[in-house]
Amino acid sequence: MKPQLDSNQKAITKKIRALVPDATAIIFHGSRVRGLPSPTSDYDVMVFTPMRVELEECERIKEQLVQAFPDFKVDAVFGAERFLHATLAFEPYYRFWLENGVSAFGSLPRVKPYPRLYRDALDSRLDIIRAEIDVVDVFNRSWYQKGRGYLRILKQLILIENALRGDYRNESLWASVAETVGHPAFEILRNPPERHRIRQSMVKRLRRIAIQKISSLRKENLHSKWTTSRYPRGLERNGKSKR
């Protein structure tokens, strides 16, 4: 059954259409559409346009959305449909958005069958996520803030894990996140009023799981049937043959 848009999503759609009159499609995705929304969940939305939207214009539109909707956060991404096609082999995230998205205006782009993901691109993404763990360690002072950071990181890792198995369902993603994080940590971290219940041991456990999962994903990336090498065997990235 197709999820129904709520009143906030309808209002967001109306505002975006006014701000981006040449938009060809407005697609909502994420936990507000299919998943486990929390009281603090963003409204995630993709806005497709015929041509690329310049960074300055994106920032201007986002600021207008902040002013129009001060009671909740709208996380908007802008791009041309051709950009989506060009990046599907690099980013697994877009596949989840397309599989679970609901169109508020226009229609979902037709992109299947998906290309196999590039192994080096996923390795680079894992490097970035590993660096994010260090950022959480240094810049988040409270255990609750650290826990929220590790929860966000684990969601990214489980998304990659599911993509390596060809599973792009949001329901499966959130079920895996909840199982990995465990109860009651999962509910506490998604509900700020419950922050007083967080424990140092819960947060340290999430960090250990994230580190372990990065290591296991690097190995799985090498053998998954859903990934491929971007470069012909025997060639370096600069196109020169290996000696």
Give the tens place of pLDDT for each residue, 186-214. Answer: 999 999 999 999 999 999 999 999 999 99
Per-residue burial over 15-24, b if 16 or more Cβ lie within 10 Å, else e, is bbeebbeebe
Residue 105's pLDDT is what? 96
Query: Per residue in 139-187, pLDDT tens?
Result: 999 999 999 999 999 999 999 999 999 999 888 998 999 999 999 999 9
76 membership: H or E segment, kind and range: strand 74-80
Q: What is the pLDDT of residues 8-37, one digit of tens each?
A: 999 999 999 999 999 999 999 988 887 678
- As a whole number of angstroms, the distance between CA 231 and CA 210 comes to 29
Q: Which two tokens stand for residue 43?
A: 């409204």
The H-or-E segment that residue 43 falls in is strand 43-49
Q: Pick from 67, 96, 72: which is nearest to 6 by CA?
A: 72
Alpha carbon separation from 196 to 75, 117, 182 (Å, rounded): 28, 41, 17
Phi and psi for 78 in degrees, rounded to 5?
-115, 145
pTM of the model: 0.86
In whole numbers, what is the pLDDT of the chain averaged over residues?
A: 91
CATH code at 7-105:
3.30.460.10
77 secondary structure, DSSP code:
E
Q: Is the pLDDT of residue 240 over 50?
A: no
Domain boundaries, the chain: 7-105, 117-228
Pick from 120, 128, 129, 156: nearest CA to 228: 120
Residues composing the chain: 243
